[in-house]
Every structure is written in C-alpha cells, then in structure tokens.
C-alpha cells in the first residue's frame, strides 16, 4: 500500500511532534565500560601512587646522586589504544608482569628523561641541552636495568597497602605500537607522573589493565574499611603511651619592638638598641613553634624559670566558648 500524504496530514504530524516533550538526548554506548572500575577505586589508586611518588623521590635522588622532583599528574581510565597514542615515538617502554595476576602492565619513560639519566649513570651531569630522538641501544637498555629495579621496588612497596603484586620486566620496546599486550579497545588505568631532573623534564607513564584491578576490588574495599574504622580505646591508650616518650621543643619568648628593614640596614658598630619589655607583661611559651602557654619569668635558686599562668584553649574549646559555653560544658557566666 502506498499513497501520498496530503499537506494537512503533514502539518498535523509536525504539530504533534512539536507538542511532545523533548526526549533525553541519545548517549553513545561505550563498549569498553564493562571493564571500567568505579571512581572510588580510581581515587584509591591515586592515593596509592601518591605514596609511590614520595618514595621514588628519595630512591632516585640517592641512586642518581642528584636532586629531582616527582609529581603525580593524573590517574584516569583510557582505552589501550588511547594510552599508546599519547606516548612519544621512539621511547623506552617495557612490559610488566603482574604476578600472581594474569595480564600485563606497561611502564614508559620519555626520551627526555632516559638520555639525561644515561648520561648521569655514565658520570656526566645530565644537563645537555640537546634533545636526542633515537632508539635506545642494547647497551643502554642494560644500563637502565638498575633504574627500573628501583622503580619497580617502590611500586611493589606502594601496592602492598592493597595487595602483593610482583612487578617484573618481561620485555622492552622502543615503538609503542609494537607492544601488543592488550586489545586496542581494552580499558586501562593510566597513571601519569612528571619527573624533573635539573633542566630535564619528562613523563613516566604506567598502565594497568582495568580488568586486573577489578579482580582486586575486594582488597581495595578491605583497605578502605580499615581506614574508616575508628581506633579502639586500647589502641588509643597504646598510641598515647608511645607518644609520652616523644620530645618537644619548649621556648619562652619575650616579644619586643619591631624593626624596619631600612633601620636594620643602617645599624653600625656602637648603635644602641632598646628592647623595652615591661616586667609585668606575660611571656609566651611555645611548643614546637605553636603558642600553648602564657607565664611569668621567675627564679629558682640561681636559675631562671617560667611560671605557667594560662593554658591557651584548643580550637574546639575556643569554638565552644564563642558559642556561650565553657569547655567543660557549663554555661559561661556574664
């Protein structure tokens, strides 16, 4: 059956469409989504690699005998193809074993980091301004073995907070597209870390298959449940007992007049400075630089001492006092 619609029927159809409520916009279905992990687990991985970065700073500084900075830049979920597309070519990229879990991770070091590090390992300063773009030789790969051992050791220690993962190097490549470890559309968790050694700046990128991290979900949940659990009274007493032996720096300060930089620069030999401090003015007592007590200078025999007259309230006690109550819970009298 086929017939042509009249103009009236066409107009009526358009009027009905305009009268309907707007439907929700269509959203493309992401076929990689089943392999993705929840955002809470991504945040846990971010905290985990914060610890890794802090440890790596001291480890690499001692190994390279040079000051450096390491910063965690990003933790995000990508497809394996997107991760590889973001890497330079050529570069230094290794396949990581994740025993006892099946699958492989990826660790990549930018050439802008690799060649200054190689120069430092061979006795140089690593401050060469020339940018080298070439493949790494087999001899240079052997020189980098010690560097990767340190990186993977710190990575193992950081992951121990969740589970034991034995990160091992299985192979090394110079072209990212030649490392066919995962399907192009398989989801990975990409960790971007910026390393700065002198004037050399580059990225260290780590990729972990999302499907492997999903296997660790129960381990992550256990870690967070331990973090959220409040310490028992016995544990609090034990911590307090240990802290009682800690040493603090106690100082008594007499706050005198201030001096401008101009007057300070004009000081000469023979200049007389007066630091007037009234006898009845209380003295501040600081604990590790924080004002905790107020008192007066007294003498005990041949020694000077400070008599505590006032204990400064804690922030919570001050807040209670401002609301009209004493720290012990009773109403403040006028």
For 114-159, write each residue's pLDDT tens digit: 999 998 888 887 776 667 778 888 888 888 999 999 999 999 999 9
Q: What is the mean pLDDT of residues 172-201?
A: 89
Print the SS3 string covering the chain: CCCCCCHHHHHHHHHHHHHCCCCCCCCCCCCCHHHCCCHHHHHHHHHHHHHHHHHHHHHHHHHHCCCEEEEEEEEEEEEHHHHHHCCCCCCEEEEEEEECCCCEEEEEECHHHHHHHHHHHCCCCCCCCCCCCCCCCHHHHHHCHHHHHHHHHHHHHHHCCCCCCEEEEEEEECCHHHCCCCCCCCEEEEEEEEEEECCEEEEEEEEEEHHHHHHCHHHHHHHHHHHHCCCCHHHHHHHHHHHCCCCCCEEEECCCCCCCHHHHHCCCCCCCCCCCCCCCCCEEEEECCEEEEEEEEEEECCEEEEEEEEECCCHHHHHHHHCCECCCCCECCC
The region of weakest confidence among 20-29, 172-181, 228-237 is 20-29
pLDDT attached to residue 21? 44
Q: Of 274 and 42, which is predicted with more confidence?
A: 42
The region of weakest confidence among 88-92, 139-143, 223-227, 309-313 is 223-227
Q: Which residues pair with 241 in a beta bridge?
A: none
Same domain, 39 and 132: yes
Domain count, the chain: 2
Q: What span, in angstroms and rounded, lies between the C-alpha atoms of 189 and 194?
A: 17
Residue 158 included in any domain: yes
Name the pLDDT band for 188 (thresholds 50, 70, 90). Answer: very high
User: To the nearest whole number, what is the mean pLDDT of the chain?
Assistant: 80
Q: What is the mean pLDDT of residues 205-233?
A: 74
The region of weakest confidence among 76-90, 96-110, 138-152, 313-327 is 313-327
Question: Long-range CB contacts (< 8 A, 24+ apart) of 305-311?
Answer: 306/252, 309/282, 310/282
> What's the CATH code of the domain at 123?
3.40.1550.10
User: What share of the chain in percent tops pLDDT 70?
Assistant: 80
Q: Is the pLDDT of residue 58 over 80?
A: yes
Name the pLDDT band for 1 (thresholds 50, 70, 90). Answer: very low
Q: What span, in angstroms and rounded, lies between the C-alpha atoms of 210 and 206?
A: 12
Q: Residue 89 burial (CB < 10 Å; 0-12/13-18/19+)?
A: middle
Same domain, 174 and 57: yes
Q: Is the pLDDT of residue 166 over 90?
A: yes
Residue 48 included in any domain: yes
Q: Is the pLDDT of residue 43 over 70?
A: yes
- Strand-strand pairing, 187-197 and 250-253: unpaired
Q: What span, in angstroms and rounded, lies between the C-alpha atoms of 167 and 60?
A: 18
Q: Of 174 and 253, which is predicted with more confidence?
A: 174
Name the pLDDT band for 253 (thresholds 50, 70, 90). Answer: confident
Residue 19 included in any domain: no
Same domain, 214 and 317: no
Q: What span, in angstroms and rounded, lies between the C-alpha atoms of 5 and 14?
A: 13
Q: What span, in angstroms and rounded, lies between the C-alpha atoms of 45 and 158?
A: 10
Q: What span, in angstroms and rounded, lies between the C-alpha atoms of 66 and 134?
A: 25
Same domain, 222 and 282: no
Same domain, 199 and 287: no
User: What pTM was estimated for this model as a whole?
Assistant: 0.58
pLDDT attached to residue 288? 82
Same domain, 97 and 193: yes
Q: What span, in angstroms and rounded, lies between the C-alpha atoms of 265 and 255?
A: 21
Same domain, 196 and 309: no
pLDDT attached to residue 82? 92
Same domain, 190 and 293: no
Q: Is the pLDDT of residue 27 over 80?
A: no
User: At CA 171, angle to CA 176 and CA 127, rounded to 5?
Assistant: 65
First to last CA, the chain: 95
Ranked by mean pLDDT, which of 5-14, 26-35, 210-219 comes out on top? 210-219
User: What share of the chain in percent tops pLDDT 90?
Assistant: 25
Q: Where in the sequence is the domain holding 167, given as residue range(s)?
A: 33-226
Q: Of 5 and 304, which is predicted with more confidence?
A: 304
Name the pLDDT band for 24 (thresholds 50, 70, 90). Answer: very low
Q: What span, in angstroms and rounded, lies between the C-alpha atoms of 91 and 110?
A: 6
């Amino acid at each position: 059956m086929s017939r042509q619609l009249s103009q009236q029927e066409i107009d009526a159809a358009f009027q009905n469409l305009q009268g309907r409520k707007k439907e929700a916009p269509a959203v493309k279905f992401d076929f990689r989504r089943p392999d993705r992990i929840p955002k809470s687990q991504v945040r846990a991985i971010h905290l985990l690699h914060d610890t890794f970065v802090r440890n790596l700073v001291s480890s690499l500084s001692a190994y390279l005998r040079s000051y450096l900075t390491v910063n965690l830049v990003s933790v995000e979920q990508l497809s394996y193809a997107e991760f590889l597309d973001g890497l330079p070519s050529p570069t230094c990229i290794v396949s990581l074993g994740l025993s006892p879990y099946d699958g492989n991770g990826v660790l990549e070091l930018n050439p802008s980091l690799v060649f200054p590090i190689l120069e430092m390992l061979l006795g140089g300063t690593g401050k060469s301004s020339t940018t080298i773009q070439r493949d790494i030789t087999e001899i240079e790969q052997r020189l980098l073995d010690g560097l990767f051992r340190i990186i993977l050791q710190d990575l193992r220690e950081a992951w121990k907070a969740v589970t034991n993962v034995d990160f091992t190097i299985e192979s090394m490549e110079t072209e990212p597209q030649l490392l066919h470890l995962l399907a192009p559309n398989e989801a990975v968790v990409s960790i971007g870390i910026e390393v700065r050694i002198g004037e050399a700046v580059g990225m260290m990128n780590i990729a972990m298959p999302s499907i492997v991290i999903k296997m660790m979900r129960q381990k992550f949940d256990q870690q967070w449940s331990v973090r959220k659990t409040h310490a028992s009274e016995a544990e609090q007493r034990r911590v307090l007992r240990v802290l009682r032996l800690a040493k603090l720096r106690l100082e008594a300060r007499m706050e005198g007049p201030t001096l401008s930089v101009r007057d300070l620069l004009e000081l000469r030999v023979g200049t007389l400075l007066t630091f007037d401090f009234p006898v009845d003015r209380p003295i501040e007592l600081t604990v590790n630089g924080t004002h905790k007590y107020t008192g007066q200078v007294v003498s005990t025999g041949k020694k000077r001492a400070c008599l505590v007259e006032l204990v400064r309230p804690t922030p919570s006690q001050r807040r209670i006092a401002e609301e009209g109550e004493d720290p012990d819970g009773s109403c403040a009298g006028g």
